[in-house]
Amino acid sequence: MTTNTILIGLTSHGDLGGLRSTGYYLPEAAHPWKVFTEAGYTVEFASVAGGEPPVDGADLSDPIQKEFTEQVSLAATPTFAELDPTGYDAVLFAGGHGAMWDFPSDPGLATFARDLYERGGVVAAVCHGPAALTALTLSDGTALVAGKRVAAFTDSEETAVGLTEVVPFLLQSRLEELGAKHSGAADWQPHVVTDGNLVTGQNPASSTGVAEAVVAVLKK
Protein backbone atom coordinates (compact mmCIF):
# COMPACT_ATOMS: atom_id res chain seq x y z
CA MET A 1 0.00 0.00 0.00
CA THR A 2 1.47 3.33 -1.02
CA THR A 3 0.70 6.39 1.06
CA ASN A 4 2.01 9.10 -1.27
CA THR A 5 3.70 10.63 1.79
CA ILE A 6 7.42 11.16 2.34
CA LEU A 7 9.05 12.06 5.64
CA ILE A 8 12.10 14.34 5.84
CA GLY A 9 14.08 13.73 9.03
CA LEU A 10 15.96 16.54 10.75
CA THR A 11 18.57 16.81 13.48
CA SER A 12 17.78 18.56 16.75
CA HIS A 13 21.44 19.09 17.70
CA GLY A 14 22.48 22.73 17.52
CA ASP A 15 26.05 22.83 18.87
CA LEU A 16 29.04 22.25 16.58
CA GLY A 17 31.44 20.96 19.22
CA GLY A 18 31.49 24.30 21.01
CA LEU A 19 32.69 26.15 17.88
CA ARG A 20 29.40 27.64 16.73
CA SER A 21 25.76 26.81 16.27
CA THR A 22 24.67 24.19 13.75
CA GLY A 23 21.55 22.17 12.95
CA TYR A 24 19.94 20.75 9.84
CA TYR A 25 21.26 22.24 6.60
CA LEU A 26 18.39 24.17 5.06
CA PRO A 27 19.02 23.41 1.36
CA GLU A 28 19.14 19.68 2.14
CA ALA A 29 15.55 19.88 3.35
CA ALA A 30 14.28 22.56 0.96
CA HIS A 31 15.48 21.10 -2.32
CA PRO A 32 14.13 17.58 -1.66
CA TRP A 33 10.86 19.12 -0.42
CA LYS A 34 10.55 20.91 -3.75
CA VAL A 35 11.24 17.75 -5.77
CA PHE A 36 8.80 15.65 -3.74
CA THR A 37 5.96 18.16 -3.76
CA GLU A 38 6.32 18.76 -7.49
CA ALA A 39 6.15 14.99 -7.99
CA GLY A 40 2.81 14.97 -6.17
CA TYR A 41 3.88 13.71 -2.75
CA THR A 42 2.79 15.01 0.62
CA VAL A 43 5.90 15.91 2.62
CA GLU A 44 6.03 15.76 6.41
CA PHE A 45 8.88 16.46 8.81
CA ALA A 46 10.17 14.93 12.03
CA SER A 47 13.14 15.62 14.28
CA VAL A 48 15.05 13.81 16.99
CA ALA A 49 13.78 15.91 19.89
CA GLY A 50 10.56 17.22 18.35
CA GLY A 51 9.54 20.86 18.30
CA GLU A 52 11.44 23.36 16.18
CA PRO A 53 14.84 22.04 15.05
CA PRO A 54 17.87 24.34 14.74
CA VAL A 55 18.79 25.36 11.21
CA ASP A 56 22.11 26.04 9.49
CA GLY A 57 23.25 27.02 6.01
CA ALA A 58 20.29 29.18 5.02
CA ASP A 59 20.67 31.16 1.80
CA LEU A 60 17.45 33.01 1.07
CA SER A 61 18.82 34.27 -2.24
CA ASP A 62 18.04 30.72 -3.37
CA PRO A 63 14.38 30.89 -4.43
CA ILE A 64 13.70 27.31 -3.34
CA GLN A 65 15.02 27.91 0.16
CA LYS A 66 13.04 31.15 0.34
CA GLU A 67 9.86 29.38 -0.78
CA PHE A 68 10.47 26.63 1.75
CA THR A 69 10.82 29.04 4.65
CA GLU A 70 7.64 30.84 3.57
CA GLN A 71 5.49 27.74 3.08
CA VAL A 72 6.73 25.19 5.62
CA SER A 73 6.30 25.51 9.38
CA LEU A 74 8.69 23.43 11.48
CA ALA A 75 7.64 24.92 14.81
CA ALA A 76 6.17 21.67 16.14
CA THR A 77 7.78 18.67 14.44
CA PRO A 78 7.01 15.26 15.97
CA THR A 79 9.72 12.88 17.09
CA PHE A 80 10.39 9.75 15.04
CA ALA A 81 9.08 7.61 17.90
CA GLU A 82 5.70 9.30 17.59
CA LEU A 83 5.24 8.26 13.96
CA ASP A 84 3.91 5.07 12.38
CA PRO A 85 6.22 4.04 9.51
CA THR A 86 3.32 2.41 7.68
CA GLY A 87 2.12 5.94 6.92
CA TYR A 88 5.08 6.74 4.67
CA ASP A 89 6.55 5.57 1.38
CA ALA A 90 10.02 6.95 2.11
CA VAL A 91 12.16 8.81 4.60
CA LEU A 92 14.98 11.15 3.69
CA PHE A 93 17.46 12.13 6.39
CA ALA A 94 18.73 15.63 5.67
CA GLY A 95 22.24 16.54 6.70
CA GLY A 96 23.81 19.36 8.59
CA HIS A 97 26.61 18.69 11.04
CA GLY A 98 24.15 18.36 13.92
CA ALA A 99 23.09 14.98 12.51
CA MET A 100 26.46 13.54 13.47
CA TRP A 101 25.61 13.90 17.16
CA ASP A 102 21.97 12.85 17.49
CA PHE A 103 20.97 10.73 14.49
CA PRO A 104 23.05 7.69 15.56
CA SER A 105 21.74 7.70 19.14
CA ASP A 106 17.98 8.01 18.57
CA PRO A 107 16.28 4.61 19.01
CA GLY A 108 13.02 6.02 17.66
CA LEU A 109 14.73 7.02 14.43
CA ALA A 110 16.39 3.63 14.10
CA THR A 111 13.15 1.71 14.66
CA PHE A 112 11.18 3.90 12.28
CA ALA A 113 13.74 3.59 9.49
CA ARG A 114 14.24 -0.16 9.93
CA ASP A 115 10.51 -0.88 9.88
CA LEU A 116 9.99 1.33 6.83
CA TYR A 117 12.90 -0.28 5.00
CA GLU A 118 11.93 -3.85 5.80
CA ARG A 119 8.42 -3.38 4.45
CA GLY A 120 9.85 -2.09 1.15
CA GLY A 121 9.90 1.65 1.75
CA VAL A 122 12.77 3.83 0.62
CA VAL A 123 15.38 5.01 3.12
CA ALA A 124 17.43 7.95 1.83
CA ALA A 125 20.03 10.30 3.28
CA VAL A 126 22.23 13.12 2.05
CA CYS A 127 25.53 14.68 3.18
CA HIS A 128 25.76 14.10 6.96
CA GLY A 129 22.28 12.56 6.93
CA PRO A 130 23.78 9.07 6.46
CA ALA A 131 24.85 9.35 10.11
CA ALA A 132 21.35 7.95 10.64
CA LEU A 133 22.45 4.76 8.87
CA THR A 134 25.37 4.11 11.21
CA ALA A 135 23.11 2.76 13.97
CA LEU A 136 20.52 1.07 11.76
CA THR A 137 20.37 -2.68 12.12
CA LEU A 138 17.92 -4.99 10.41
CA SER A 139 15.73 -7.42 12.31
CA ASP A 140 18.41 -10.11 11.95
CA GLY A 141 20.95 -7.86 13.66
CA THR A 142 23.06 -7.02 10.61
CA ALA A 143 23.92 -3.42 9.77
CA LEU A 144 21.59 -2.06 7.11
CA VAL A 145 24.54 -0.65 5.16
CA ALA A 146 26.60 -3.87 5.21
CA GLY A 147 27.40 -4.75 1.61
CA LYS A 148 25.40 -1.79 0.31
CA ARG A 149 26.71 0.85 -2.09
CA VAL A 150 26.48 4.26 -0.42
CA ALA A 151 27.58 7.88 -0.67
CA ALA A 152 28.02 10.36 2.18
CA PHE A 153 29.99 13.46 3.16
CA THR A 154 33.53 12.26 2.53
CA ASP A 155 36.50 12.27 4.86
CA SER A 156 38.15 14.54 2.29
CA GLU A 157 35.31 17.06 2.54
CA GLU A 158 35.39 16.93 6.35
CA THR A 159 39.11 17.71 6.16
CA ALA A 160 38.43 20.56 3.74
CA VAL A 161 36.04 22.23 6.19
CA GLY A 162 38.49 21.71 9.04
CA LEU A 163 36.19 19.69 11.27
CA THR A 164 37.78 16.24 11.43
CA GLU A 165 38.73 16.79 15.06
CA VAL A 166 35.34 18.32 15.95
CA VAL A 167 32.81 15.78 14.69
CA PRO A 168 32.23 12.68 16.85
CA PHE A 169 33.44 10.40 14.04
CA LEU A 170 34.26 10.51 10.33
CA LEU A 171 31.14 9.49 8.45
CA GLN A 172 32.72 7.85 5.41
CA SER A 173 35.10 5.86 7.61
CA ARG A 174 32.32 4.73 9.95
CA LEU A 175 30.15 3.54 7.09
CA GLU A 176 33.08 1.62 5.64
CA GLU A 177 33.76 0.04 9.04
CA LEU A 178 30.16 -1.21 9.00
CA GLY A 179 30.75 -2.93 5.66
CA ALA A 180 29.30 -0.31 3.34
CA LYS A 181 30.78 0.08 -0.14
CA HIS A 182 31.32 3.85 -0.10
CA SER A 183 32.05 5.80 -3.27
CA GLY A 184 32.79 9.48 -3.57
CA ALA A 185 33.16 12.15 -6.20
CA ALA A 186 35.56 15.09 -5.98
CA ASP A 187 34.88 17.47 -3.09
CA TRP A 188 31.57 19.37 -3.45
CA GLN A 189 30.55 17.60 -6.66
CA PRO A 190 27.09 16.00 -6.78
CA HIS A 191 27.13 12.24 -6.33
CA VAL A 192 24.10 10.01 -5.74
CA VAL A 193 24.03 6.23 -5.24
CA THR A 194 20.97 3.98 -5.40
CA ASP A 195 21.18 0.42 -4.08
CA GLY A 196 17.75 -1.19 -4.06
CA ASN A 197 15.57 0.93 -1.78
CA LEU A 198 18.53 2.71 -0.20
CA VAL A 199 19.41 6.10 -1.74
CA THR A 200 22.32 8.23 -0.54
CA GLY A 201 24.08 11.40 -1.63
CA GLN A 202 27.45 12.93 -0.86
CA ASN A 203 26.94 16.61 -0.07
CA PRO A 204 24.57 19.59 -0.37
CA ALA A 205 25.01 19.61 -4.15
CA SER A 206 23.53 16.10 -4.17
CA SER A 207 20.26 17.05 -2.44
CA THR A 208 18.12 17.45 -5.55
CA GLY A 209 19.56 14.32 -7.13
CA VAL A 210 18.87 12.23 -4.04
CA ALA A 211 15.24 13.34 -4.04
CA GLU A 212 14.89 12.64 -7.75
CA ALA A 213 16.37 9.16 -7.19
CA VAL A 214 13.89 8.50 -4.37
CA VAL A 215 11.01 9.40 -6.68
CA ALA A 216 12.46 7.15 -9.38
CA VAL A 217 12.58 4.18 -6.98
CA LEU A 218 9.04 4.85 -5.78
CA LYS A 219 7.72 5.03 -9.34
CA LYS A 220 9.11 1.61 -10.26
Closest CA to 33 of 208, 194, 198, 187: 208
Active-site residue, 165 included: no
Active-site residue, 158 included: yes
Active-site residue, 127 included: yes
Of the candidates 157, 158, 182, 191, the residue annotated as catalytic is 158
Of the candidates 31, 97, 128, 182, the residue annotated as catalytic is 128
How many Cα atoms within 13 Å fall on the side-chain side of residue 104? 17
Of the candidates 127, 157, 182, 191, the residue annotated as catalytic is 127
Please list the active-site residues: 127-128, 158
